[in-house]
Amino acid sequence: MASSNNSLGNGPPMFNGENYHIWEIKMKSYLKALNLWDAIENGADPPPLGPNPTLNQIKNFEEASTRSLELQQNKANQQQLAQDQFLDPTVIKVDNQSAILIAKNPVQHGRTKHIQVKYHAIRQAEKDGEISLVHCSSNDQLADILTKSLGKAKFEELREKIGVIKKTY
């Protein structure tokens, strides 16, 4: 079995999917030995190349520069996400109070085990403040005009509420 210890001449330690904590320490030591750790940790530009750099030094410099740029972009994205969290959540009007209670209650009941995992995204979105579930009486549910067969009076009432006018000849 090949040794997993890498010296500076062999390149950075490779992560094989196991023992992350050990690989993390080796990678940090490797980057510190090349004076690149500050660039990774702080997002600072890597130290400039000295005169007559080797191909390995040039490669490491380019990789560190790329990582520094990616880190700066990630920080900008995180700041944007933090600002977006202060926006008001999207309000979803639901006429089923049981559905609202299931989404708000993180406890799994025997009655909700059959619900597929993808539908739990609603629960997570509400928990994260992206959406807000609000009860809306069935009488005020405007979507009913598109999803249900209605009597003439109810149809005309909802048609008026959504702003569709009756065509007169």
Q: What is the pLDDT of residue 117?
A: 63
Q: What is the pLDDT of residue 138?
A: 77
Q: What is the pLDDT of residue 79?
A: 67
Distance CA 109, CA 31 (A): 50
Q: Which portions of the chain are predicted below pLDDT 70?
A: 1-10, 38-46, 78-79, 81-87, 106-119
Q: What is the pLDDT of residue 115?
A: 66
Q: What is the pLDDT of residue 22?
A: 82
Q: What is the pLDDT of residue 4?
A: 47
Q: What is the pLDDT of residue 1?
A: 43
Distance CA 51, CA 10 (A): 22
Q: What is the pLDDT of residue 114?
A: 64
Q: Are 104 and 124 in contact (CB under 8 A)?
A: no
Burial of 46 (0-12, 13-18, 19+ CB in 10 A): buried
Q: What is the pLDDT of residue 86?
A: 62
Q: What is the DSSP letter of 106?
A: -
